[in-house]
Amino acid sequence: MTGGFTLVVCDLGGCLRAPGGHDVLGALGAFVRSTCHGVLVRAGCLFQALADEDAPCCRGRGGAGAFVLVQRCDAARRPLGPAVVAGPLHEAADTAALCDWLATGLGAGEPLPSHLRPVTVSGTS
């Protein structure tokens, strides 16, 4: 990947606690540190604008498992294209699939793996 990316991870209570005890934040942090132009940001709920019952995360119907907002950018941190929401990251395999996509698919314009595309940026299913 010649450009970079910003990952915004929901750090709200149960969202980072993946079933089975997988350390989502640790795995994403290790991956981002291995890149030249990746940035990891911890934030509040990515679905804050939605009512609790409509939120696909731990606040609502989705249960545990982190969601991540991904913004592709160039080396100067300028955004390239729309941001995408990935998740929920329930297992180590989900996090690995996201990291693989960030390493090879994002820059090539490939879509996010289908099992990591539960919602659109607008928050609808």
Q: Is residue 89 part of a domain?
A: yes
Domain enclosing residue 81, as ranges = 4-116
**How many structural domains compose the chain?**
1
Of the two residues 124 and 73, the one the predictor is more confident about is 73
Q: Is residue 78 part of a domain?
A: yes
Q: Is residue 98 part of a domain?
A: yes
Instruction: List pLDDT tens digits, range 60-100.
Output: 666 667 889 899 998 888 999 999 988 888 889 999 999 99
Q: Is residue 122 part of a domain?
A: no
Q: Is residue 82 part of a domain?
A: yes
Q: Is residue 28 part of a domain?
A: yes
Strand pairing class (66-73; 4-10): antiparallel
Of the two residues 99 and 109, the one the predictor is more confident about is 99
Could you tell me which residues come within 8 angstroms of residue 108 by beta carbon, excluding any fewer than 6 positions away?
none
Reference 23, options 86, 61, 66, 60; nearest CA is 66
Instruction: List pLDDT tens digits, range 19-61.
Output: 667 788 899 999 999 998 999 998 877 777 677 676 666 666 6
